[in-house]
Amino acid sequence: MEHEEREYFRSRRERLLARLADAGFYGALISRPEDRRYLSGFTGSSGLLLLTREEAILFTDFRYLEQAGRECPGVRVVDHERKPEEAVVRAVCTSRPARVAFQGDAMSVRAYERLLAVTREVCPEVRWEDAGEALEGLRVRKDPPELAKIRRAVEIAEAAFRAVLPEIRPGRTERQVAWALERAMREAGAEATAFPPIVVSGVRGSLPHGMPTDKPLACGELVTLDFGAVYEGYVSDLTRTVALCDPPEALLRIYETVLAAQLRAVARVRAGVTAEEVDAAARETIERAGYGKYFGHATGHGIGLAVHEDPTIGPGRATPLKAGSVVTIEPGIYVPDLGGVRIEDDVLVGESGAVLLSTLPKELLRLR
């Protein structure tokens, strides 16, 4: 790991500890995998990260000890010997703090009950409290190493899309196209897909998250592809809708409406603008065209170590966008028994406007 990236891990931990101190916490137990990786660099699937004013400790098992030692600069690695909660409590109790935060939405009830039971036995004066707002929005702003990885994840996904265009033709099935897309992302350098690719065609295009089937593609249909790559833990999330031969005018009108909505929402993105204002730019465009009831999801969401992160770009979301965050802009229209359209880009929020990370054309691509 480069020295510069090590410093980013250290500064992330220091930033979180400052927020915890302001909220009156001695430290925090991090159990959400994405947060654990963000704060320590650990890529394994099992571990608890304890951050205190004195040190950072990663508790894991034999399978990951060597890996964690290599991946986690500035973090003490401890074998919890199949008793993670006991190991955590004994480490906390060396300082006997009053309040320690934990991630209530990222810990099982059973693990929480074990944590409390051991605490009552070893140092009952310690109180575990849900971190709440102290951890809210922790990963929203992306630092330079994160942005570089997201950009690469976008490049991989776009290269894969271009590679599979010849596969999107009448007679091929949705499942065949999805597999070709997944394989192409792997071959282009993805360590994984960000999620199983969505490929829906014809009337199945009205399913926003429909899974690919053995339905053959046919002339006159639109085909929606939603896909993303993972590069060094960071994801991309893109959607394009393409046409086979000559689709009916009703679908072409829907496509033009979604394109206008997406362009207007992207143009609204900048630091300080609220998430609901960006959503409104897309939603009002779709409503004015008469398709409002066919757009039932948010306009976008943050991405990073997870496919869905803060902020949510949707109605009632009054949170101002922060410079350095990366969001998707993905309005869609889904009409049962007709089909659907979605167009999605990954966008970096800048002080003066949006920076498009994705470069695929958005004008309707007609394939034969």
What pLDDT digit, counting tens, does each position of 233-267 carry? 999 999 999 999 999 999 999 999 999 999 999 99
**Percent of the chain surpassing pLDDT 90:** 95
* Alpha-helix runs per DSSP H in 123-173: 144-164
**Two tokens at 319?**
């949170």
CB-CB neighbours of 215 under 10 Å: 16
- List domains and CATH numbers for the chain: 3-135 (3.40.350.10), 144-367 (3.90.230.10)
On whether the CB atoms of residues 226 and 197 are closer than 8 A, the answer is yes
On whether the CB atoms of residues 232 and 194 are closer than 8 A, the answer is no
Residues 290, 351: Cα–Cα separation, whole Å:
33
Residues 73, 11: Cα–Cα separation, whole Å:
12
pLDDT for position 368? 85
DSSP 331: -
List CB contacts of 37: < 8 A, sequence separation 6 or more: 43, 233, 305
Residues 155, 305: Cα–Cα separation, whole Å:
16
CB-CB neighbours of 207 under 10 Å: 15
Residues 61-86: pLDDT tens digits?
A: 999 999 999 999 999 999 999 999 99
Residues 8-38: pLDDT tens digits?
A: 999 999 999 999 999 999 999 999 999 999 9
- Is pTM beyond 0.85? Reply is yes
β-bridge pairing 309-313 and 345-349: unpaired
In terms of Cα–Cα distance, which of 111, 127, 129, 110 is closest to 119?
A: 127
On whether the CB atoms of residues 164 and 176 are closer than 8 A, the answer is no
Residues 45, 237: Cα–Cα separation, whole Å:
23
CB-CB neighbours of 341 under 10 Å: 31
Residues 351, 205: Cα–Cα separation, whole Å:
36
**Two tokens at 5?**
């990236």
- As beta bridge partners, residue 241 has 224
